[in-house]
Amino acid sequence: MAAKITTDGLYRVSYAETPGLTREEYIKRQPLRYEEILPGNPKPGDYKFVSMNPYQLQHRIAPSFHKGKVILCADSAHVVNPFGGLGLTGGIADVGSLYDALLGIHKGLADDSIIEKYSEVRMKIYKEIIDPMARENFNRISSQDPETAGDNDEWFKLCKKAATDLELQKQLCHGLDVLTHDFTQYWNKEKDVDQADGGKTDILVESRPVEGGIVA
């Protein structure tokens, strides 16, 4: 996978390697691998190499996203392979869900049980959507001839079409809406209406210095 990640031409390149080598051996092999896998077979002088971070592909999920006073989201809660950006996108969706859950508690419109609902829903989305899609993306890339995949694979053909079809671009972007979940539906709407009609919650904040920082 080669993906442009900045407007000034920085790319992230992910590729399979021989397992069990040292970091130094992976770095030494990098120029050869780029020449093998990238379009145009670039030599080291054709690009500026910035950094390298060898890692093992994993698909893992925590047994729960909530225990006691600890709440997990994003990479602390689950990991998948990078092909498709589903770990990042799913992590952003986690944060949005958790924000709504905590906001509901802060406003007095939800109790602590909404955090258990957050854990339940986000784990379900990972297991039923994120993990299967990420595995399919990896299999698609690893099992096809890169010279012909763009012409033979229906997903790649759809991506090619989207490059010039703005309406299709929008549809594909909204396809990721399946990763989101509206946690405001679990708020107590009657309380929300009462507050909108003029009810007001006063919050007293007391700040005091403690060793190492400030507690509010």
Q: What is the pLDDT of residues 85-122, one digit of tens each?
A: 899 999 999 999 999 999 999 999 999 999 999 999 99
The pLDDT of residue 106 is: 96
- For residues 79 and 87, is the Cβ–Cβ distance under 8 A? yes
Given pLDDT bands bounded at 50, 70 and 90, which one contains residue 212? very low
* E-state strands within 124-191: none
What average pLDDT does range 164-171 have in this prediction? 91
- For residues 120 and 97, is the Cβ–Cβ distance under 8 A? no
Q: Which residue has the higher pLDDT, 165 or 159?
A: 165
Rounded alpha-carbon distances, angstroms, from residue 39 to 1, 35, 146, 154, 193? 11, 8, 10, 21, 59
Mean per-residue pLDDT of the chain: 86
Given pLDDT bands bounded at 50, 70 and 90, which one contains residue 192? low
Q: Decide if pLDDT at 72 tops 90.
A: yes
The pLDDT of residue 156 is: 81
> Please, what is the angle between helix 154-162 and helix 166-174, to 10°?
120
The pLDDT of residue 203 is: 40
Q: Decide if pLDDT at 204 tops 80.
A: no
- For residues 84 and 142, is the Cβ–Cβ distance under 8 A? no
The pLDDT of residue 197 is: 54
Structure tokens at 19: 């397992």
- For residues 38 and 13, is the Cβ–Cβ distance under 8 A? yes
Q: Decide if pLDDT at 136 tops 60.
A: yes
The pLDDT of residue 144 is: 72
Q: Decide if pLDDT at 142 tops 80.
A: no
The pLDDT of residue 155 is: 79
Q: Which of 44-53, 105-114, 201-210 has the lowest mean pLDDT?
A: 201-210
Question: Phi and psi (nearest 5°) for 13?
Answer: -120, 120
d(CA 74, CA 157): 30
